[in-house]
């Protein structure tokens, strides 16, 4: 069977869904191919912090109704060192804030809207393979249960995450990979417990980093630095709470509320970028092209920035028959990606315990945190990056 579309989008995560939505607003037809079920995509617990730019993108594309009702706008965050907290006043320092709204809520809103608009989203689509990417007529083959079919398109968008098929369809030698892995991971939990504080706490602690976050007025999200190969079966609920208290409870008497643990996971940490983000008529976006360690809360936001540029460039192609912006797509995105990489690496280095650190390294790290907590200039540099750099025109 032969199917035609203008853009074939592989992956229904934040990048693929947002791209398909923005393209539809520009009058460009797309088909989204997703390996997993709709339910799986909607329930996958991941990122939680939206930069103001991402919120603006959701607002301007008519997707912010529930976000405005349920999202929690934060005008500051706390940095801590061994239980001593210091607020970074994001709004006061930058004029901007962030919004805490779970990635799976963004994904639910995007799926609902694409389907309401008659969008073509194909979940559990079977095995996807990409062909003729360096020709004017790329084609995507889908080996579905009912038999194979082919999608003929003008462009393919690889929005299928780090383990997807798009990046690995590019011939060897085309891409340059830049990578760093970290000697730790995050053990994350979602707990049925009302947040006990209105803003996030990033705690540097002798026992390791801990992060206090939230999802709603009744759900708290918490993370602990752990070993990359940490065995979750060794972490009873009691052990998790006791370690969270040991690292997070503050000298002024604050502590996270406990509650039933709804979900536990371990996430490895890496920095990864491929260059360029294009091969022929295939464009990579989001985690398919880059991964940041989560400390800077940049993953989903970078994915949105990529597809914003890609949708704008595709609009120029279809409206004005100019592929100039498509040719610039990779360079435009990479500038923002590397800035976010630098910030995420810096936040990670500032806040985690590195087993290999010498006593000198540890003292230097604590001095750096002291500087960020006590210098308006240093706090502003953190805040400016955390709330998100502006999108370039
Ligand atoms: P994804 O969300 O990965 O979406 C890709 C989609 O493609 C998936 O739905 C996948 O099923 C689909 N797919 C894959 N292969 C194929 C294929 N062959 N065919 C069809 N479909 C395919 N960021 C933060 O800022 N804070 C966090 O706390 C945080 N936690 C994270 C925890 C985990 C376990 C992971 C993996 C990431 C986390 N991130 C976090 C990063 C953030 O969630 C990602 O940056 C974001 O999901 C990127 O969106 P994306 O659409 O590019 O990729
Ligand atoms: C969350 C995740 C992050 O990586 C982060 O830096 C802040 C918050 C969260 O899941 O809420």
Predicted pLDDT at 144: 82
Is residue 226 a contact partner of residue 264, using CB atoms and an 8 Å limit?
A: no
Predicted pLDDT at 285: 98
Percentage of the chain surpassing pLDDT 70?
Answer: 100
Question: pLDDT band at 347, cuts 50/70/90?
Answer: very high
Is residue 163 a contact partner of residue 246, using CB atoms and an 8 Å limit?
A: no
Topology annotation, domain 2-75+98-178+270-348 = FAD/NAD(P)-binding domain (3.50.50)
Predicted pLDDT at 146: 79
pLDDT digits (tens, 9 = 90+) for 121-133: 999 999 999 999 9
Annotation says 202 is catalytic: yes
- Give 87 or 147, the one with higher predicted confidence: 87
Q: Is 34 in the pocket of ligand 1 (CB under 6 A)?
A: yes
**The pLDDT of residue 387 is above 80:** yes
214 CA: nearest ligand 2 atom: 11
Angle between helices 324-351 and 376-387 (to 10 degrees): 130
Q: How many CB atoms lie within 10 A of CB 38?
A: 16
Active-site pick, 202, 212, 223, 309: 202
Is residue 104 a contact partner of residue 44, using CB atoms and an 8 Å limit?
A: yes
Give CA–CA dist 226/353, Å, rounded: 10
Predicted pLDDT at 185: 98
User: What are the residue ranges spanned by the domains of the chain?
Assistant: 2-75+98-178+270-348, 183-268+354-387
Is residue 29 a contact partner of residue 5, using CB atoms and an 8 Å limit?
A: yes
Active-site pick, 205, 298, 309, 352: 298
Give the phi and the psi of residue 46 in degrees, each rounded to 5: -140, -125
Predicted pLDDT at 268: 95
The residue whose CA has the least distance to atom 30 of ligand 1 is: 46
Predicted pLDDT at 392: 78
Peptide bond into 53 cis (omega under 30): no
pLDDT digits (tens, 9 = 90+) for 350-379: 999 999 999 999 999 999 999 999 999 999
Predicted pLDDT at 1: 84
pLDDT digits (tens, 9 = 90+) for 102-116: 999 999 999 999 999
298 CA: nearest ligand 1 atom: 25
Which residues lie below 8 Å from residue 382, measured CB to CB, with a gap of 6+? 88, 347, 372
Query: What mean pLDDT value characterizes the chain?
Result: 97
Q: Is 213 in the pocket of ligand 2 (CB under 6 A)?
A: yes
**The pLDDT of residue 388 is above 80:** yes
Annotation says 217 is catalytic: no
Domain 183-268+354-387 has CATH 3.40.190.10: no
Give CA–CA dist 107/16, Å, rounded: 10
Average pLDDT over residues 44-65: 95
pLDDT digits (tens, 9 = 90+) for 7-35: 999 999 999 999 999 999 999 999 999 99
Q: Name the residue with tokens 């464009």.
A: 283
Average pLDDT over residues 241-252: 98
**The pLDDT of residue 247 is above 90:** yes
Is residue 131 a contact partner of residue 140, using CB atoms and an 8 Å limit?
A: yes
The residue whose CA has the least distance to atom 6 of ligand 2 is: 297
Identical topology for domains 2-75+98-178+270-348 and 183-268+354-387: no
Is residue 196 a contact partner of residue 254, using CB atoms and an 8 Å limit?
A: yes
Give CA–CA dist 217/222, Å, rounded: 14
Residue 320: burial class (beta carbons within 10 Å; 0-12, 13-18, 19+): exposed
Q: Is 226 in the pocket of ligand 2 (CB under 6 A)?
A: no
């Amino acid at each position: 069977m032969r199917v035609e579309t203008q853009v074939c989008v592989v992956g229904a995560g934040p990048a693929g869904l947002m791209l398909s939505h923005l393209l539809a607003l520009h009058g460009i037809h797309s088909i989204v191919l997703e390996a997993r079920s709709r339910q799986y995509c909607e329930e996958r617990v991941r990122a939680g912090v939206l930069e103001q730019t991402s919120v603006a993108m959701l607002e301007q594309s008519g997707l912010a109704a529930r976000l405005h009702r349920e999202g929690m706008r934060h005008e500051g965050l706390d940095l801590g060192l061994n239980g001593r907290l210091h607020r970074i006043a994001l709004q006061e320092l930058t004029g901007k804030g962030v919004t805490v709204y779970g990635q799976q809520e963004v994904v639910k809103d995007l799926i609902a809207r694409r389907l309401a608009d008659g969008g073509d989203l194909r979940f559990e689509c079977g095995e996807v393979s990409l062909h003729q990417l360096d020709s004017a007529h790329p084609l995507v083959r889908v080996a579905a249960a009912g038999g194979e079919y082919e999608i003929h398109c003008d462009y393919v968008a690889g929005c299928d995450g780090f383990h997807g098929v798009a990046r690995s369809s590019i011939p060897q030698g085309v891409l340059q990979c830049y990578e760093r892995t970290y000697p730790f991971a995050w053990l994350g939990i979602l707990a049925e417990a009302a947040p006990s504080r209105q803003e996030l706490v990033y705690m540097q602690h002798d026992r390791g980093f801990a992060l206090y976050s939230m999802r709603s007025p009744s759900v708290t999200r918490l993370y602990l630095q752990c070993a990359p190969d940490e065995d979750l079966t060794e972490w009873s609920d009691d052990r998790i709470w006791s370690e969270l208290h040991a690292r997070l409870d503050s000298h002024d008497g604050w502590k996270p509320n406990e509650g039933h643990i709804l979900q536990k996971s371990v996430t490895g940490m890496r920095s990864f970028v491929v260059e360029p983000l294009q091969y022929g008529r295939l464009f990579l976006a989001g985690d398919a092209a880059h991964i940041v360690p989560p400390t800077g809360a940049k993953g989903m936001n970078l994915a949105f920035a990529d597809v914003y540029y890609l949708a704008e460039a595709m609009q120029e192609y279809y409206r004005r028959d100019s592929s100039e912006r498509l040719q610039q797509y990779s360079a435009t995105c990479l500038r923002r990606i590397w800035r976010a990489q630098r910030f995420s690496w810096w936040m990670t280095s500032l806040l985690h315990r590195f087993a290999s650190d010498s006593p000198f390294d540890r003292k230097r790290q604590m001095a750096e945190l002291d500087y960020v907590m006590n210098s308006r200039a240093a706090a502003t540099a953190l805040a400016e990056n955390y709330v998100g750099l502006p999108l370039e025109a």
